[in-house]
Chain A
């Protein structure tokens, strides 16, 4: 594995923060659609501890993490907020922006200085609805990450590390 990894042991992953970090999903798009989407893209900085998406709110943006780490949290009765997943650069936040009823299913809080590349929800939905080429190129990778997240959540539900019930004996 690349020794670049070795230097920053314990700290944030994959190579520091450059001014123009790659944005995998977007970079992977064919030229046409990529240009049309980049037009919508806006970069935002989030300070550690800031919650930029709230469970139940209308999702205003679909973001791709450029840098930093984000915690997805749920409100659980009697247990308060529970972190169910943390996201790293390249991950998507706010897929609910393009899935009815367009409301956030979790809250999102930055754990480190975080940079997001965000698409405004309405414009994104509009272009996906009107531009078949963009939709065909952009939706599969989104679906892929969402599916991967579902699978991972399933494994968490299995409580793998718990093992069997302890006997009464």
Chain B
């Protein structure tokens, strides 16, 4: 299954203290079952990320208030002004570790958390920002900022598990609300969360979606990607792009071969067709989980990771910024937006 447990993890005990499981018996279970202990203290923190995964917590609208009843949310900057630096029974961690400060902070948080759960591709696999390598780092900074001198970040963004022990993980870019709920319910009831590690294809076929590789010649990462999203990409007529990361035992090299020149090489190729440009195939694997070993092994072989970028041509700033804080200028003219048809108006 999906839950990462390392031998002798303090989490075994820790988790036991979380779910009523530890207290013996789940809430709601009648005779012969112990009752739940105090509400678990839950924290939600973020590192380098887009906030989408923690937003997912707010997106389980139907259960949000129930969650707030079952758990004591003591730290969740995006949602509440209440703050806590710990301790936590459960700590949900979003985002990858991308600065020296974050290296220190995640170590501190680990010490405060009984059970540390990484949520989303950034926290579990580094996210797309993890595609940059030490070598590329300087070029990346230069590409984005006129004055890279200010920059002080790690050579590359890394998954949380490279710095501290992770007890469990929710995959996805973003995570699935259903899986988030499954995790929280499991913590509350003491059962094991069902987070299958099999390929997207199983859910795709259960839904009765004809394989887009076979029927349309589209490149699809489903066969090497973990299920959990509900196979939405094939359902929407496109190939999977790997949001949930590698499935168990992903045979990425075998599949990459098939995508380049084998049966999966797409139209009009089929078997023996001209096939695809290896770099195009490589880029397919260089996605939001592209820094994981199974995906990376393909881009190492075929290329496709981000290339040294050109310097973007930013408009040059004025010689000097005004002193002190920005101030509003003189009261502007009354609004004079054009409401008339414009000859060189936008197309369409």
Contacts and interface: CB of A to CB of B under 8 A. Distances in A.
A166 B21 CA distance: 12
Interface string B164-203: 0001100000000000000000110011110000000000
Contacts of B60: none
A167 B192 contact: yes
Contacts of A169: 3, 15, 19, 21, 186-187, 190-193
Interface in B1-48: 3, 5, 7-9, 11-12, 14-16, 18-19, 21
A54 B190 CA distance: 49
Contacts of B16: 168
B25 to A, nearest CB: 14
A165 interface: yes
A135 to B, nearest CB: 45
B184 to A, nearest CB: 12
Contact residue range for chain B?
20 to 34
A52 to B, nearest CB: 37
A166 B3 CA distance: 12
B115 interface: yes
A132 B231 CA distance: 73
A166 B190 CA distance: 12
A168 B7 contact: no
Q: Which of A165, A166, A169 has the most CB of B within 10 A?
A: A169
Interface string A148-169: 0000000000000000011111
A168 B115 contact: yes
B196 to A, nearest CB: 15
A165 B11 CA distance: 11
Interface string A54-77: 000000000000000000000000
Contacts of A165: 5, 7-9, 12
Which of A165, A166, A168, A169: most chain B CB closer than 10 A? A168
B61 to A, nearest CB: 26
Contacts of B191: 169
A164 to B, nearest CB: 9
B3 A167 contact: yes
A167 B14 CA distance: 11
Contacts of B193: 169
Contacts of A168: 3, 5, 9, 11-12, 14-16, 18, 115, 167-168
Interface in B239-287: none
A168 B166 CA distance: 12
Contacts of B7: 165
A99 B102 CA distance: 54
A168 B190 CA distance: 8
A168 B14 CA distance: 7
B42 to A, nearest CB: 15
A166 B19 CA distance: 14
A166 B12 CA distance: 7
Nearest to B7: A165
B256 to A, nearest CB: 33
A70 to B, nearest CB: 33
Nearest to A169: B192
A166 B9 CA distance: 10
A119 to B, nearest CB: 44
A156 B21 CA distance: 32
Contacts of B168: 168
Contacts of A166: 12
A94 to B, nearest CB: 36
Nearest to B183: A169
A33 B249 CA distance: 58
Interface in A118-169: 165-169
B171 to A, nearest CB: 17
Q: Which of B5, B9, B115, B186 has the most CB of A within 10 A?
A: B5
Nearest to B187: A169
B40 to A, nearest CB: 12
A89 B190 CA distance: 51
Closest 5 CB pairs of A and B: A168-B15, A169-B192, A168-B11, A168-B12, A165-B7
Given A167-B192, A168-B3, A169-B191, 14 more contacts: A165-B5, A165-B9, A165-B12, A166-B12, A167-B5, A167-B12, A168-B12, A168-B16, A168-B167, A168-B168, A169-B19, A169-B21, A169-B187, A169-B190
Interface of B: 3, 5, 7-9, 11-12, 14-16, 18-19, 21, 115, 167-168, 186-187, 190-193
Interface of A: 165-169
15 contacts: A165-B5, A165-B8, A165-B9, A165-B12, A166-B12, A167-B5, A167-B192, A168-B3, A168-B115, A168-B167, A168-B168, A169-B21, A169-B186, A169-B187, A169-B190
